[in-house]
């Protein structure tokens, strides 16, 4: 989660905007005491040209009644709007690392240090002898007009979240080792391995950016085999390199037709139980159903948990 100044709470509603390719998705959730949140809005608009700020402004105007009284805001960056890299952790404490990370990434990301917003997270298990972090970086100049629009909506801006972490928030109930495949049209697929509710492996695979465009006929002709290969690579890394228990399952969060033969094809290729990723109970009625709102829902849930931790 990229660092931001945090404002005090005003409205209990949480409004999250998620950038993904040429679309912006908006969700509004209402936290409820001692219960799951309530999803009130899940909608999206296309971005005209490169005017992401304009798309956010359009959604905020459409759902203006939910943007009054300074609700809590968060922004989710799709994987085409940031870079995620692994590097050896410098010998610094957390505060020093956060302040210097943009310079450590100078040769690893396309953003110059002066135009770089950064943060990092760590996985539960490391390769033997390593002490690595996963750093995320985004362009400050790209984000500034977007943040200006968000601050016009509310002065209670809570966080900027990257997609790989937002999506992970929706899989915290996974107990057995599982590979999750999450992909949005014309974006790199995220292959993530979860165990005991934690994210252990995160891979962005650009070669799978068209997997959601496969027809059923292409699936029947073996079109899912490249996906099966990448799922197996993720499982092998988790089991052999990280020395963890064998992967038991693969879950798909991809905008493919929800046909049993797709699940069967993955099962036949991998010998693993395969199923479609489930929406949270609180999002099943109004959720889009095609996973296009998954990152926004995860970002809203992260924002909710942030507020609970600070309470």
Q: Is residue 60 within 8 Å of 39, Cβ to Cβ? A: no
Q: Is the pTM of this model over 0.75?
A: yes
**191 pLDDT exceeds 80?**
yes
Q: Tens of pLDDT along 51-103?
A: 999 999 999 999 999 999 999 999 999 999 999 999 999 999 999 999 999 99
3-state secondary structure 119-132: EEECCCCCCCCCCE
Name which residue leads in pLDDT, 186 or 198.
198
Per-residue confidence (pLDDT) for residue 2, from 0 to 100: 61
Per-residue confidence (pLDDT) for residue 311, from 0 to 100: 60
| CA atoms lying within 13 Å on the CB side of residue 96 | 5
Matching CATH number, 172-276, of 2.40.50.140, 2.60.40.10, 3.40.50.360, 3.30.420.40: 3.30.420.40
**6 pLDDT exceeds 70?**
no
Cα–Cα distance between 282 and 1 in angstroms, integer? 24
Pinpoint the alpha helices (H) of 157-272: 163-168, 216-220, 225-236, 260-270
**187 pLDDT exceeds 80?**
yes
Phi, psi of 217 (to 5 degrees): -65, -40
**One fold for 9-168+279-310 and 172-276:** yes
Name which residue leads in pLDDT, 311 or 305.
305
Residues 6+ apart with CB under 8 A from 214: 223, 224, 256
| 163 SS3 class | helix
Per-residue confidence (pLDDT) for residue 34, from 0 to 100: 85
Domains of the chain, by residue range, sit at 9-168+279-310, 172-276
Per-residue confidence (pLDDT) for residue 7, from 0 to 100: 45
Cα–Cα distance between 36 and 260 in angstroms, integer? 30
Cα–Cα distance between 249 and 266 in angstroms, integer? 10
Per-residue confidence (pLDDT) for residue 1, from 0 to 100: 58
SS3 content of the chain, % helix, strand, coil (to 5): 35, 30, 35
The domain over range 9-168+279-310 is classified in CATH as 3.30.420.380: yes
DSSP annotation of 255 reads: S
Q: How far, CA to CA in Å, does 290 sit from each of 180, 212, 234, 276, 277? A: 15, 10, 24, 10, 10
Per-residue confidence (pLDDT) for residue 127, from 0 to 100: 87
Residue 194 — pLDDT band, cuts 50, 70, 90? Answer: very high
Instruction: Please choose, from the candidates 113, 93, 91, the residue with its C-alpha nearest in 3D space to the C-alpha of residue 103.
Output: 113
pLDDT (average), residues 212-240:
94
Beta strands of 176-302 (E only): which ranges? 178-183, 189-195, 198-205, 249-254, 273-276
Q: Tens of pLDDT along 8-17?
A: 457 899 999 9
pLDDT above 70 coverage of the chain, percent = 97
Both tokens assigned to 27: 């969700």
Both tokens assigned to 5: 């100044």
pLDDT (average), residues 176-184:
96
Per-residue confidence (pLDDT) for residue 5, from 0 to 100: 44
Both tokens assigned to 220: 């029947």
Both tokens assigned to 198: 């934690």
**Strands lying side by side in the sheet with 83-88:** 83-88, 132-139, 116-121
pLDDT (average), residues 223-234:
96
Q: Tens of pLDDT along 253-310?
A: 998 888 888 999 999 999 999 999 999 999 999 999 999 999 999 999 999 998 777 7
Q: Say if residue 218 is exposed, middle or buried (CB neighbours under 10 Å; 0-12, 13-18, 19+).
A: exposed
Q: Tens of pLDDT along 32-50?
A: 988 899 999 999 999 998 8
Determine how many CB atoms are found less than 10 A away from the CB of residue 5.
5
Cα–Cα distance between 153 and 160 in angstroms, integer? 15
């Amino acid at each position: 989660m990229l660092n931001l100044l945090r404002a005090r709470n005003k409205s209990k509603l949480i409004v999250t905007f998620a950038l993904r390719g040429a679309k912006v998705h908006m969700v509004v959730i209402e936290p409820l005491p001692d219960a799951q949140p309530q999803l009130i809005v899940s909608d999206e608009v296309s971005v005209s040209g490169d005017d992401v700020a304009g798309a956010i402004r359009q959604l905020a105007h459409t759902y203006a009644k939910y943007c009054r009284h300074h609700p809590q805001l968060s922004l989710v960056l799709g994987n085409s709007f940031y870079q995620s890299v692994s590097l050896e952790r410098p010998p610094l404490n957390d505060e020093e690392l956060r302040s210097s990370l943009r310079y450590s990434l100078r040769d690893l990301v396309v953003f110059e240090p002066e135009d770089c917003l950064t943060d990092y997270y760590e996985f539960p298990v490391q390769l033997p002898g390593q002490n690595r972090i996963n750093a995320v970086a985004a362009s400050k100049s790209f984000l500034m007009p977007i943040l200006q629009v968000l601050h016009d909506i509310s002065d209670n801006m809570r966080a900027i979240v990257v997609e790989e972490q937002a999506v992970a928030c929706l899989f915290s109930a996974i107990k057995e080792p599982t590979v999750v495949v999450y992909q949005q049209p014309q974006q790199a697929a995220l292959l993530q391995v979860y165990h005991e509710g934690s994210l252990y492996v995160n891979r962005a695979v650009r070669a799978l950016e068209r997997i959601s465009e496969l027809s059923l006929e292409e699936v029947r002709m073996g079109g899912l085999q490249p996906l099966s290969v990448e799922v197996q690579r993720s499982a092998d890394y988790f089991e052999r390199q990280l020395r963890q228990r064998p992967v038991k399952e693969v879950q798909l969060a991809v905008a493919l037709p929800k046909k049993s033969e797709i699940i069967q094809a993955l099962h036949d290729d991998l010998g693993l139980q395969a199923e479609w990723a489930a929406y949270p109970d609180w999002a099943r009625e109004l959720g889009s159903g095609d996973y296009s709102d998954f990152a926004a829902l995860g970002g809203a849930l992260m924002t909710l948990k942030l507020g609970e931790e600070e309470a």
